[in-house]
Amino acid sequence: MYQSTLPGQFLSISESQADSIALQSNAEQVSYGDLKRRVDKVGSYFKQIGIEPGDRVALVIDNSVDYVTAFYAIWKVGGIVVSLNPQAKFHEIEKLIQQCEAKCLLIDKLNHANTEQLNQLSINMITLNQCDINGVANWSTALECEADNNWYSATEDTLAQIIYTSGTTGNPKGVLLSHGNLMCNVKDIIEYLELTREDSVLNVLPFHYCYGNSVLHTHFSVGGKVILAGSMAFPQEIVNTMREYKATGFSGVPSTFSLFLARSDWPQDPPPLRYMTQAGGPMGKELTQKLLQSSQPDTKLYVMYGQTEACARISWLPPHKLDEKLGSAGISLTHVDLEIRDENAQALPNGQKGEVYVKGPSIMQGYWNNAEASEQVLLNGWLKTGDLGYLDDEGYLYLVGRNSDMIKVGAHRINPLELEEVINKLGFVQESAVIGIEDEILGQKLRAFIVGEESRENLLALKKHCNEYLPTHKIPREIQWAEQLPKTASGKIKRYLLKS
């Protein structure tokens, strides 16, 4: 039986499973009971410095026990969590702090110059690094505060979190989620993943965006274990950690699994996982098949689709349907309604392509302080996703791209994902991205960015491959080699940066 909110569920689990391990890292392991005691202390400190229900508290902290402690402590006092990317430039962080009107900032590291800038915002500052800067509190002070057990009684309508969109367009917006939004999505995900207290997920996803956020709360809500792993810069170490801590689950984006297959012993000795989940953009059919063939026979792969505006997850593909429905984003969650509509917002029959619209209790409240943007995507309770797709005769969703990504070459509208899937079949190509650039005659022409070994031989092979598998108007006119593609924290390609 679930509580109506995630903080309520956390209190229930921390009482019934006080000795169960909640968080595991190389440095420490923390039980639910210990974590709750830390949360109580930090929450009491927040009260002392004047944090009240509805106040925004910004977290600029890498995945850690301290991050999770601060997160639930904000909820203890009824605050709204604003998780920001610790890898962002300081001026970006400062802009978002101003935009959400945060009353308090918790940050991994501060220096004197940054502090002077933030002092102009009249904001409480707490830093995790030991420092002696006037006006900045140390995290240790919060952890040593005398605890109380008084938790704010949040309801399903209480505002819980602001998650800034990944910003594939370069203009991040603050997605405002209620406790009811989060709890509904969490329960639906637990249902199809069949999560229990016996599950332990190894996590490399940043908690500050919706996929990692979802992994944390789904496993906490069943009393499972979250294993905090290191950087994907060392994929073999991640695979070793899976084995060492006996992880039952792993969640990743397509490039994550590509790295495992190319730079670790996963194909020779696949870890004994119960399940894997994949989201954060479409995974090519060939990579999906290669991952399945290289994994344990009883490891289930869940292909998923979602948006921050939908709290995380919109649809999922049942693992037993992977072969039959390869390339599909699956069926909608239990509490999500899904339709395909035309340009006039009229529902289309199965088989016809249009824009994906979704509705349900997990859909966001709107964008923080941005009524105009909210009105553009929220129509009579439906979320206008901007994603293009169609439903087959059995109601399975197939995505074909985004409205904003479509490239117009002459009279042709071209979906870059279709071209990238063709290019990525070449063995020397790790990944690719196709964009449209200005052309005086056609309006736009195609430029392909290739991550892989650059050589004249490979360039000729690429051109031959494109000529063989693509019609003339879909063949990239320019090829540019790249060491890596610019991506959001969720693994989506920042195409606007490629254009610049």
pLDDT tens-digit profile of 397-431? 999 877 778 787 876 778 898 899 899 999 999 99
Assess whether 234 and 330 both reside in one domain.
Answer: yes
Sheet-wide strand order for 429-439:
429-439, 443-452, 478-482
Match 């979250």 to its residue by tokens: 226
Residue numbers of the domain that contains 491: 406-499
Assess whether 141 and 197 both reside in one domain.
Answer: no
Assess whether 90 and 114 both reside in one domain.
Answer: yes
User: Closest Cα to residue 222, out of 248, 257, 253?
Assistant: 248
| Cβ contact 465:452 at 8 Å | no
Assess whether 132 and 204 both reside in one domain.
Answer: no
| Cβ contact 160:365 at 8 Å | no
Assess whether 139 and 188 both reside in one domain.
Answer: no
For residue 494, tell me if it sits in a domain: yes
Assess whether 202 and 68 both reside in one domain.
Answer: no
- Tell me how far apart the alpha carbons of residues 25 and 276 are, in angstroms, rounded to a whole number: 20
Assess whether 421 and 370 both reside in one domain.
Answer: no
For residue 167, tell me if it sits in a domain: no
> How high is the pLDDT of residue 4?
97
Give tens-digit pLDDT for 278-318.
Answer: 998 778 888 899 999 999 999 999 999 999 999 999 999 99
* Rg of the chain taking only CA atoms, in angstroms: 23
Question: Which residues in the chain come in under a pLDDT of 50?
Answer: 168
Assess whether 392 and 441 both reside in one domain.
Answer: no
> How high is the pLDDT of residue 196?
98
Number of domains in the chain: 3
| Cβ contact 58:99 at 8 Å | no
> How high is the pLDDT of residue 390?
97
